[in-house]
């Protein structure tokens, strides 16, 4: 039996704070200052210029969801994600009610900077979902 009780999801990106703030808006998460600092801005201001912006993290204020960690990498995104997040807004809904809920969330996320990629309609096995991309092109699904 594993003793691991928590995990975090790590994103490679160009602008960690920008991507972190996008996901905070999507999920209702918050950016927390590292220990010893009152705010994230205080922490960033204490770092050397070359280290500023190299990472950012956010978490579920209720402590239930996983921490999200964003790290700057030199290379850009080149292929489809091997792992993605599902933003679950339509759980338990089917048909037109589900589609309306997904479309409403899609509209909200586009206003935050996301891009709509494709609507995948229910196929008798899977319910409908919308494939989207975050502000740096990382795929995720509105499910």
Distance of CA 85 to the CA centre of its chain: 7
Tell me if 79 is assigned to some domain. no
**End residue of a domain, out of 44, 72, 100:** 72
Residue 33 has a pLDDT of 84
Helix (H) or strand (E) holding 47: none
Res. 1: pLDDT tops 80 = no
Q: Give backbone dihedrals phi and psi of 60, rounded to 5 degrees, phi first.
A: -75, 120
Do residue 49 and residue 105 come from a single domain?
no
Torsion of CA 8, 12, 14, 18, to 10 degrees: -20
Q: How many domains does the chain have?
A: 2
Residue 95 lies in domain: 85-142
Res. 4: pLDDT tops 80 = no
- pLDDT tens digit sequence for 15-72: 999 999 999 999 999 998 888 999 889 999 999 999 999 999 999 999 999 999 999 9
**End residue of a domain, out of 38, 72, 106:** 72
Give the C-alpha separation, 20 to 10, whole Å.
Answer: 11
Give the C-alpha separation, 71 to 60, whole Å.
Answer: 18
Res. 78: pLDDT tops 90 = no
Residue 54 has a pLDDT of 95
């Amino acid at each position: 039996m594993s003793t691991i009780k928590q995990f975090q999801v790590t994103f490679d990106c160009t602008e960690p704070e920008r991507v972190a703030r996008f996901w905070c808006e999507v999920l209702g998460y918050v950016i927390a200052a590292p220990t010893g600092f009152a705010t994230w801005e205080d922490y960033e201001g204490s770092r050397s210029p070359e280290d500023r912006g190299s990472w950012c993290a956010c978490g579920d204020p209720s402590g239930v969801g996983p921490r999200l960690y964003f790290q700057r990498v030199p290379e850009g995104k080149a292929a489809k994600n091997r792992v993605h997040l599902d933003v679950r807004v339509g759980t338990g809904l089917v048909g037109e009610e589900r589609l309306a809920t997904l479309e409403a969330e899609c509209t909200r996320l586009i206003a935050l900077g996301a891009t709509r990629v494709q609507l995948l309609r229910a196929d008798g096995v899977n319910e409908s979902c919308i494939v989207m991309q975050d502000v740096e092109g990382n795929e995720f699904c509105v499910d």
